[in-house]
Amino acid sequence: MASKFNTEFNYRYQVIGHTPWEKIKTLKGFLEGRVRTVTLEEVGKLKFQAMIAKLKHLQKTGLEHEVLELKAEILEIESFHQTEEECFKLNLDEIEILKKLLKELYVIAEPTRIKGYTDEEMFEANAANEFTVHIGKEIQAEMIANGRPSPAKIGNAMSNPYTWNALKSIGLIPKETKILEGNINPALEITLNVVEDENLENEKKAGVLVDIRDKKKGVTNVG
């Protein structure tokens, strides 16, 4: 039975992306694949025509077993023709769905674009924001289900100061909690040190993300 690769519901709610820019990145990847499928439809038709031409040639000059083998291959392909045609039509519908969703997301995301930044640069600038929202929701889900976050998710949150401080600011992690780090020089005595929270208050405000690749380029709200 012919069916879409994904439903509009899945594209809208289930694909990777907790923030608009990350979802744009994901949907653009899906759209690229669906557009390529349109080209492959023509490729399939040309290959089938080539098989028909080859069969006509073999019927004149080839051996019987070669003719029979090619006839069998052609019959096998023809048995899928109706389903393939339906799939290609559904693929066109899916392309329109993706274009519609991307248009909606750009309406939300475009005002947050850093001046002069391409989409790819915005995906990079949004990376810490996306990761923070993802880990925050994971921790929230674990607390709802189990009453406390898992060590693994807390460890993920410790990976960068943006996520760590954001989670502390809304109470998902106790404010007094500190991160441990070891010596930079492995030749020194093995010790652990307490890392004081980095002061990011001048770099971020509620809902604002620092461009961590080049802070001189400014900040933007990408959430």
What pTM was estimated for this model as a whole? 0.76
Spatial separation of the C-alpha atoms in residues 81 and 39, rounded to whole Å = 16
**Residue 17 DSSP code:** -
Domain ranges for the chain: 8-117, 126-210
Residue 63's pLDDT is 86
Q: Residue 145's beta-bridge partner residues?
A: none
Q: What are 194's two structure tokens?
A: 């307490």
The token pair at 78 is: 């023809």
Query: Which residue, chain included where needed, has tokens 């980095």?
Result: 198
Provide the pLDDT for residue 132.
97
For 101, how many CA atoms within 13 A lie in the half-sphere containing its CB? Answer: 26
With H, G, I as helix, E, B as strand and everything else as coil, classify residue 71.
helix
Q: Could you read off the pLDDT of 85-114 as tens digits, one per residue? A: 888 899 999 999 999 999 999 999 999 999
- Residue 188, token pair as written in the block: 């020194």
Distance CA 117, CA 7 (A): 31
pLDDT in tens, 130-140: 999 999 999 99
Question: Which tokens go with 3?
Answer: 């069916």
Strands 179-182 vs 219-220: parallel, antiparallel or unpaired: unpaired
Pairing mode, if any, of strands 209-210 and 219-220? antiparallel
The Cα angle at residue 169 between residues 164 and 172, in degrees rounded to 5: 70
